[in-house]
Structure 1
């Protein structure tokens, strides 16, 4: 007597394993590529943070007196001029620590007549 099963359940089981194997073989390279992409993004973020730390250690740039286009992002500034009071803008729907509020933006006129917009901070909505 032959004791090897030749039933439909055995054929279905073999077909099922073949499909799972194919799915894994197709999915694995995609997941590997996503993993390397994440590692690349982490390295980009570390490089950006190092560049920002280097800029933050520099002394403040003085305005007027420095070309605005030459100033790096996150560089501290020493401004000479005055705020244009009564012309504040409130940016609505800003959140901090789960609380809704506003960002306060005020124009600042430099002593040479140029105007900059300064973010003066956040206030809670009342």
Structure 2
């Protein structure tokens, strides 16, 4: 039978605090996984949601919603941005974005995701069809902007003088500085158009931390909690005493 000695109070306190912390972190990761799965379901359901007016959506934005909107206005002439080398079906290319002047709201620009253009296998940029000069009505999903990351050398847009401008990340704050005009906090991802050269297969980008990864981290934190308890028990396990026999005293 395995016996344990009573551990010191500080060891019990430290183990309890550590185990509770690990369990709390694990539960938080499970909640994040459930939240992101709900986001994915809402994003999938948005494709069949009813249309909403952009002015209404912009006035009362939903932090975790993906409304389908219609908006009228015109493109800002001669201003296009290329998100370098995203991938669709394993093909390299560029995602093309253009600032849009919303009717009756000329002081704030809406960044429009025109879609994906496949690369031609060289360093040359793909051909960009000209944007219409007249007023148009666009429709699509009002979604968060592409994720950003660390960019070597700082703001790549500020170092370029020719259009279209290109970057491996598109930070809305950098684009606003580049255009010297504020942007709406989200992007309009245009609906698919069979007549367009752009590929418009949009998906919610959770690649950096999908629900499955949150669950893997939760399992890791729960394992740490269990390990803390096991370590406490191992360190305070009594060593079994060797049995003494009467013949031992006689042999002495």
Whether these two folds match at TM > 0.5 is yes
Q: Distance in 2 between matches of 1:79 and 1:55?
A: 17
C-alpha deviation, 1:107, in angstroms:
0.6
3-state secondary structure, aligned to 2:56: coil
Aligned residues: 97
Matched with 2:58 is 68
- Of residues 101, 113, 126, the one that matches 2:93 is 101
Q: Distance in 1 between matches of 2:84 and 2:28?
A: 35
Matched with 1:124 is 118
Indicate if the aligned counterparts of 2:57 and 2:67 stay in contact, CA closer than 8 A.
no
Which one scores higher on RCO, CA 8 angstroms, separation ≥ 6?
Answer: 2
- Of residues 81, 89, 93, the one that matches 1:89 is 81
Indicate if the aligned counterparts of 2:97 and 2:111 stay in contact, CA closer than 8 A.
yes
Q: Distance in 1 between matches of 2:57 and 2:31?
A: 34
Deviates more, 1:88-97 or 1:48-57: 48-57
Correspondences of 1:1-126 after superposition (within 5 Å): 43-53=34-44, 55-63=46-54, 65-68=55-58, 70-72=60-62, 73-112=65-104, 113=106, 114-126=108-120
3-state secondary structure, aligned to 2:35: helix
Which protein has the bigger helix share? 1
C-alpha deviation, 1:124, in angstroms:
1.0
For structure 2, the 5+ residue unaligned runs are 1-22, 121-252
Q: Distance in 2 between matches of 1:67 and 1:41?
A: 26
C-alpha deviation, 1:42, in angstroms:
5.0
3-state secondary structure, aligned to 2:66: coil
C-alpha deviation, 1:97, in angstroms:
1.2
Q: Distance in 2 between matches of 1:96 and 1:111?
A: 32
| Aligned-residue RMSD, C-alpha | 3.1
Which protein has the bigger strand share? 1
Relative to structure 1, is the Cα distance of residues 111 and 61 closer, same or farther in structure 2, using a 3 angstrom cutoff? same
C-alpha deviation, 1:87, in angstroms:
0.8
